[in-house]
Amino acid sequence: MDKTGTEQISANTIGEVKSQVSTWRAFTGTLKRDLLLVFRRRSDIVNPLLFFSIAVTLFPLGISPEPEFLSEIAAGVLWVAALLATLLSLDSLFQQDMADGSLEQLVISPHPLSVLVLSKVLVHWLVTGLPLTLLAPLLAVMMFLPDEGFGTLFITLLLGTPTLSLIGAIGAALTVGLRRTGVLLTLLILPLYIPVLIFGTGAVTAAANGMDVLGHLAILGAMFMVALVMAPLAAGAALKISLNG
Amino acid sequence: MQELLSGQNLACERDDRLLFSGLDFSLNSGDVLQIAGPNGTGKTTLLRMLAGLLPDYEGEICFKGQPVSDDPDLFRENLLYIGHHPGIKLNLTPEENLRWYQSLYRPATTEQIHHALAQVKLTGYEDVPCYTLSAGQHRRVALARLFLQPSPLWVLDEPFTAIDQGGVKEIEQLIADHAQQGGAVILTTHHNLSLPAELKVINLGQSPQQKKDNGSQQTDAGEPGNG
Amino acid sequence: MFDKFVAWFHRMGSPKWFYEITGRWIPWFGAAAVIFLLVGTVWGLAFAPQDYQQGNSFRIIYIHVPAAILAQSIFFAMAIAGGIGLIWKMKVADMVARSCAPIGATMTFVALFTGAVWGKPTWGAWWVWDARLTSMLILLFLYFGVIALQSAFDSKQSAARASAILSLVGVVNIPIIKYSVEWWNTLHQPATFTLTEKPAMPVEMWLPLLVMVIGFYCFFATVLMMRTRNEILEREKRTQWVQGLLSKK
């Protein structure tokens, strides 16, 4: 058995290696690996959620528990808290890979780096953006969000959090080679999050006032598409720079 | 003898410090090339450059006579690079680590992975998380890729780090076999390699002072526009 | 024609050539800046007619508007220079991009400051969440991000590349940010009168403004060349021509 195994593999060693690579397999392989890693360290999922809940709790305590007041600021508070929770989870996006050397392997693998980056961003969204979106309606109840706003809150977060993960990946890639990154990452990325925040909260507020939100959602969708196309490319280029930092 | 990799007039400057310049080499199938030199002379930089991790250099690197930049993916498919860090996820088992690597190159069956792990003396450790293993065992997991991936060109940065004596012999044997089968290996190491085949050596070893003088001359003469 | 341009582009890539040619240009741009700024200031402050609504306080637009225009143009210039440095690996472009950031941030700050000063007599508050001011504030944050990233890297080369990517991302985002802020602004406070978009500003008012804008551009060009020259000396200090230059002095 041993012998045949070696021969099988080494038979190909000499001469041309036929193209056996598949970018789709690399994408799913990286996806599986990163999901498995998160599954082994479940606190990575729980911590952003805890942060989200605590941050939202601070607003009634810090400003006023008045239901009418809270219902007015609910959309903004939930969105800002979700945005910060995403941001804080971002600096670990490439850090482990950088430290253990697997980032180099990603970069020199025979695949477009942007595809592999996209796979990592997808994992990030699955373990932060999606749980945040699912938790948000619960916190919205505590913030007295008007009933009409719930559906829109859910949809805007569903559309907006992937954009946040994508844009954030650029910042994470730019700062991954640096020694201290925490605040710098925030400084780089928060201004870029502003449009998503404006249209996310705008939609929820509009819905709560019984207005049409399709326009908002279309714009959020457009931002997502732009980020989906451009952010992995930018993040890939940034990773290559960071590897030489 | 087929030429696998060649470099013409390679020069690398990092942060206005010239590491090396005017470097030519040619690597045929069957060759083992050792990059030697004291610390800080750019051994790792050269390896990273050859592996395509370093975009800034002057000169040209050709794979089978074609500039690497013409078809980087073809080159990368034919390259197996194991860097300074072994690239092993501590929370994954050796088998899971290798499975990810193989998803990037070519798929491997569980049997093949177990076989490769057996070759690096990790039988029985297939399913334990890597954080329970030692540093030497981490490197062995990385080296198991050599048995799984049919890339003709191996670029290995200090492959013997943390490996015990017996392991060093086995890896030397592996390198010799690979060369004999028509592959080629570039590596850095502080060990004295004992290989049956002839060993090519690039020596980057200049004293820092020499290099400094050399460096300032070179920067003066060099094209200032190219960064 | 195109060949000539390519040749020029390549020569521009040589720090030495850039240093020499800009040394000859600086006095001209500097003089132009002084003249335009002087003429514009005197004309704007003393001779342009009063605004029928705001009286004399409107005159701050002669600083506010050019600064705001410059703040945005400089960001674009920085991104373009960064992009050229990134694609063609041109050192000079990197240095130009690096020199742009502090000038741009200063211009943004000036625009914000003059906006606040103008806001006091007009709105009765130092700060109003007006669309233009808010966009300027975000632009200032973007500048700070680029500057912070530049200084975070040890290697100047990586610093230049990383901040080039960030400024390119910023450039894609600036129109989106501007649009969203404007939209957000109309939502929250129905249009009061804004600083510039007046129904047809009379010629006597906008002509000095134009002169000021040109003056600001000349000023920017002068400062940019001076900063880039410093940057070149610093980064090329080990080369023969810089050594020669220094020993001559």
Q: Domain C27-192+202-248: which topology?
A: Four Helix Bundle (Hemerythrin (Met), subunit A) (1.20.120)
Beta strand pairing status for B3-14 and B58-63?
Answer: antiparallel
Distance, CA of C208 to CA of C231 (rounded, Å): 34
Q: What is the pLDDT of residue C197?
A: 55
Highest mean pLDDT among A220-234, B125-139, C7-21: A220-234
- pLDDT bin (cut points 50, 70, 90) of residue B211 is very low
- pLDDT tens readout for residues A95-146: 999 999 999 999 999 999 999 999 999 999 999 999 999 999 999 999 999 9
Average pLDDT value for chain A: 89
Higher per-residue pLDDT: A1 or C237: C237
Residues of C in contact with A230 (CB under 8 A): 169, 172
Q: Are B53 and B35 in contact (CB under 8 A)?
A: no
Q: Which residue of A has its CA nearest to B82?
A: A105
- pLDDT bin (cut points 50, 70, 90) of residue C47 is confident
Residues of C in contact with B220 (CB under 8 A): 239-240
The token duo for B167 is: 């392991």
Distance, CA of C235 to CA of C95 (rounded, Å): 9
The token duo for A58 is: 């601070």
- pLDDT bin (cut points 50, 70, 90) of residue A10 is very low
Domain assignments of chain B as residue spans, ordered by start? 1-78+151-227, 89-150
**Does the pLDDT at position A34 exceed 60?**
yes
What residues contact C237, with CB distance under 8 A and at least 6 apart?
C243, C246
Give the position of tokens 């300032």.
B216
User: Reduced to 3 states, what is the DSSP secondary structure of residue B91?
Assistant: coil
User: Reduced to 3 states, what is the DSSP secondary structure of residue B95?
Assistant: helix
Q: Which amino acid is at C212?
A: M
Domain assignments of chain C as residue spans, ordered by start? 27-192+202-248
- Any chain C CB within 8 A of the CB of A233? no
- Average pLDDT value for residue range A163-184: 91
What is the enclosing helix (H) or strand (E) of C211?
Answer: helix C203-235
Alpha helices (runs of H) in B120-159, residue ranges in sequence order? 135-143, 145-148
- pLDDT bin (cut points 50, 70, 90) of residue B215 is very low
What is B1-78+151-227's CATH number? 3.40.50.300
Distance, CA of B133 to CA of B144 (rounded, Å): 15
- pLDDT bin (cut points 50, 70, 90) of residue B208 is very low
Residues of C in contact with B224 (CB under 8 A): 14-16, 91, 236, 239
- pLDDT bin (cut points 50, 70, 90) of residue B1 is low
Distance, CA of B224 to CA of C13 (rounded, Å): 8
Largest CA distance in chain C: 64
- Average pLDDT value for residue range C45-73: 85
- pLDDT tens readout for residues B140-198: 999 999 988 888 999 999 888 888 888 888 888 888 989 888 889 999 988 888 777 67
Question: What is the CB-side half-sphere exposure of residue C5 using CA atoms within 13 A?
Answer: 2
Give the position of tokens 């710098």.
A184
Q: Contacts by B120-125 with C-beta closer than 8 Å and gap 24+?
A: B120/B144, B120/B147, B120/B167, B120/B170, B121/B167, B121/B170, B122/B94, B125/B94
Give the position of tokens 């954080």.
B131
Does residue A149 fall inside a structural domain?
A: yes
- Any chain C CB within 8 A of the CB of A188? yes
- pLDDT tens readout for residues C201-216: 777 888 899 999 999 9
Partner B, chain A 11-40, Cβ-Cβ below 8 Å: 12-15, 17, 19-21, 25-26, 28-30, 32-33, 36-37, 40
Which structural domain, as residue segments, surrounds residue A101?
A: 22-243
**Does the pLDDT at position C235 exceed 60?**
yes
Question: What is the CB-side half-sphere exposure of residue C208 using CA atoms within 13 A?
Answer: 21
Q: Are B174 and B197 in contact (CB under 8 A)?
A: no
CB contact under 8 A, A192 and C170: yes
**Does the pLDDT at position A211 exceed 50?**
yes
**Does the pLDDT at position B226 exceed 80?**
no
Distance, CA of A175 to CA of C46 (rounded, Å): 50
Domains identified in chain A, total number: 1
- pLDDT tens readout for residues A176-204: 988 877 789 999 999 999 999 999 999 99
Q: Are C174 and C72 in contact (CB under 8 A)?
A: yes
Does residue A2 fall inside a structural domain?
A: no
CB contact under 8 A, B227 and C239: no
Q: What is the pLDDT of residue C84?
A: 94
Q: At what angle do helices C2-12 and C15-42 cross, to 10 degrees?
A: 100
Q: What is the pLDDT of residue B224?
A: 34
Assign residue C89 a region: left if phi > 0, alpha if psi is -120 to 50, beta otherwise? left
